[in-house]
Amino acid sequence: AQSVTQLGSHVSVSEGALVLLRCNYSSSVPPYLFWYVQYPNQGLQLLLKYTTGATLVKGINGFEAEFKKSETSFHLTKPSAHMSDAAEYFCAVSGPLVGGGTSYGKLTFGQGTILTVHP
Amino acid sequence: NAGVTQTPKFRILKIGQSMTLQCTQDMNHNYMYWYRQDPGMGLKLIYYSVGAGITDKGEVPNGYNVSRSTTEDFPLRLELAAPSQTSVYFCASRSSGNTIYFGEGSWLTVV
């Protein structure tokens, strides 16, 4: 079984400020973790993913996330927010296709966090 | 490389009508998924398939059916549309390298 909790359905920051979007997960198999961004009336775009290896993952648009197994967290950060970062962000967890039991690589999503960036 | 293609992009259905959302991928992926997205709820898994001829229910399968006669195609069928099925639907496929490809979404309104 797996689940994702995103802390804060809305986050508001000023342009140039640090962006921190929180994600905690639970998983009965080794987790693969993802962050997606969605702009209004558009599809999902992958920001970054963690599968194995280095726990600090760098993604597109200056975002990064760190997998912390002891804290079951995968928080998304960006040092300096831009107006163009305003969107909804989703954290997701899956098991691996191999060794993931019956998870079959199914993604379980958090409820999403809407990021607002103020001038 | 077209990736995952969904059709239609927009559709309005009347209550009780039926329709099929089409999903095709050209990457030879075995694993395919259908999700629905509702405001404030994230994405919920409707059905998934691990290969041609094999499908199974996800979290929210009621009111839907799927088939997987080929590796490429994974259509989602709504038999008797209800207002509760107003949603955005996403099809996805997953590579053996754990890259997940999403379609662009299908916006469905049931009135």
Pairing of strands B10-13, B106-110: parallel
B16, B80 contact by CB (below 8 A): yes
Compare CB distances from A105 to B35, B94, B103 and report the shortest one's residue.
B94
Q: What is the pLDDT of residue A30?
A: 83
What pLDDT shows up at residue B40?
85
Per-residue pLDDT, B1: 58
Beta bridge partners of B92: B33, B102
In chain B, positions 1-40, which contact chain A (CB-CB < 8 Å)?
31, 33, 35, 40
- Cβ–Cβ of B48/A104 closer than 8 Å? yes
In this prediction, residues B8-13 reach a mean pLDDT of 96
From B48, B90, B96, residue closest to A106, measured CB to CB = B48
Cα B69 to Cα B34: distance, rounded to the nearest angstrom: 16
pLDDT digits (tens, 9 = 90+) for A50-83: 988 899 999 999 999 999 999 999 999 999 999 9
Task: Please answer whether residues A73 and A50 qualify as being in contact, where contact means their C-beta atoms are separated by less than 8 angstroms.
Answer: no
